[in-house]
């Protein structure tokens, strides 16, 4: 059994945070392999046992600090890596989750990769090529803002390829993630789930705020017309591609503060289970003196 070498203070903090009510346990948002979820059965307004942002402010800060400390050890150890996948409808909160959860993390050990419409070069390769190229090296945390799942989501909804093609991609994605996992990359995937009404409210908020106009696109309005198709596509992607080595979490995200807590706690606990360690000091360093 691998010995737990965390400092006592850090172990106690993690244990205390793990003692929260089952109502706030992030693991209930995990889609277990072999199960089939229906998004209609999940309440995007769910906030567990919390009633307001103030109820979890301190706990969220503790999880963010855990991420900072564990990321430092992961980067120093250089043995394993973490890939975080974020998917959501427009305004779903991918950017917000990244900025809140990873505030204070050393940017040397963390990279964010947004995936938009494939370039001509990317289109000339297999659909997974551009994602494999951005997979994390050992010691790194990489965040995919959109991901390989775009090729079974927008591609499916917009009929950009034949059905036979996108259906085969579920297995290809599973194999891709399994390959990364076998090469020391831990993978966790989040679908930030908001309601259609909440998306409307957020889009209207962008229209009313001149500082947010740059984030608004008329295409966002067009995409709302495909809402039901996207929900079905997300259901299939989550159900077919949640595995023990790359699980999906469907995170209720109408309340941004609760979304941040669930994402932060999941990431912190995942890093904690990876248990990265600082490498041993160079032999003989104890008696070394720094010359004037």
Quote the number of domains for the chain.
1
pTM of the model: 0.90
So what's the pLDDT on residue 277?
Answer: 96
Backbone torsion region of residue 86, taken as left when φ is above 0, otherwise alpha when ψ lies between -120 and 50, otherwise beta: beta
| pLDDT per residue as tens digits for the range 30-69 | 999 999 999 999 999 999 999 999 999 999 999 999 999 9
**Residue 215 is assigned to a structural domain of this protein:** yes
**Residue 112 is assigned to a structural domain of this protein:** yes
**Residue 111 is assigned to a structural domain of this protein:** yes
- CATH code of residue 170: 3.40.50.300
So what's the pLDDT on residue 25?
Answer: 67
**Residue 146 is assigned to a structural domain of this protein:** yes
Low-confidence ranges of the chain (pLDDT < 50): 1-4, 6, 8-9, 12-24
So what's the pLDDT on residue 167?
Answer: 98
Structure tokens belonging to residue 205: 């908020």
**Residue 63 is assigned to a structural domain of this protein:** yes
d(CA 143, CA 141): 7
**Residue 90 is assigned to a structural domain of this protein:** yes
So what's the pLDDT on residue 134?
Answer: 98
Helices and strands in the chain: count of H runs, count of E runs: 11, 6
**Residue 201 is assigned to a structural domain of this protein:** yes
So what's the pLDDT on residue 184?
Answer: 97
Structure tokens belonging to residue 94: 């991918």
Query: What secondary structure does DSSP assign to 222-273, as a single string?
Result: HHHTTHHHHHHHHHHHHHHH--SSS-EEEEE-SSHHHHHHHHHHHHHHHHHH
Q: How far apart are the first and last CA of the chain?
A: 46
Domain that holds residue 187: 42-274
The answer to whether 152 and 170 have CB atoms below 8 angstroms apart is yes
**Residue 252 is assigned to a structural domain of this protein:** yes
Cα dihedral sign, 14-32-39-204: positive
- Tell which residue, 231, 265, 240, 210, has the closest CA to residue 67: 265
Burial of 209 (0-12, 13-18, 19+ CB in 10 A): exposed
């Amino acid at each position: 059994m691998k010995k737990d070498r965390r400092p006592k203070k850090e172990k106690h903090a993690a244990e205390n945070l793990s003692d929260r009510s089952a109502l706030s346990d992030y693991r209930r948002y995990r889609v277990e392999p072999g199960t089939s979820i229906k998004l209609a059965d999940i309440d995007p307004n769910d906030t567990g046992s919390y009633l307001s942002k103030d109820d979890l402010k301190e706990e969220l800060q503790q999880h963010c600090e855990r991420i900072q400390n564990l990321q430092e050890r992961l980067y120093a150890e250089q043995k394993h890596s973490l890939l975080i996948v974020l998917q959501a409808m427009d305004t779903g909160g991918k950017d917000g989750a990244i900025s809140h959860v990873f505030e204070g993390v050393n940017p040397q050990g963390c990279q964010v990769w947004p995936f938009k419409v494939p370039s001509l070069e990317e289109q000339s390769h297999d659909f997974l090529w551009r994602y494999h190229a951005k997979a994390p090296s050992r010691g790194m945390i990489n965040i995919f803002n959109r991901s390989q799942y775009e090729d079974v989501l927008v591609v499916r909804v917009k009929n950009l390829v034949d059905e036979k093609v996108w259906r085969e991609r579920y297995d290809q994605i599973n194999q891709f993630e399994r390959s990364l996992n076998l090469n020391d990359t831990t993978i966790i995937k989040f679908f930030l789930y908001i309601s259609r009404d909440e998306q409307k409210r957020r889009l209207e908020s962008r229209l009313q705020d001149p500082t947010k106009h740059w984030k608004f696109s008329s295409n966002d309005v067009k995409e709302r017309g495909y809402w039901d198709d996207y929900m079905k596509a997300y259901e299939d992607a989550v159900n077919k591609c949640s595995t023990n080595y790359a699980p999906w979490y469907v995170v209720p995200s109408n309340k941004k503060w609760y979304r941040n807590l669930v994402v932060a706690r999941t990431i912190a606990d995942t890093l904690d289970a990876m248990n990265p360690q600082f490498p041993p000091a160079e032999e003989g360093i104890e008696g070394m003196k720094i010359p004037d």
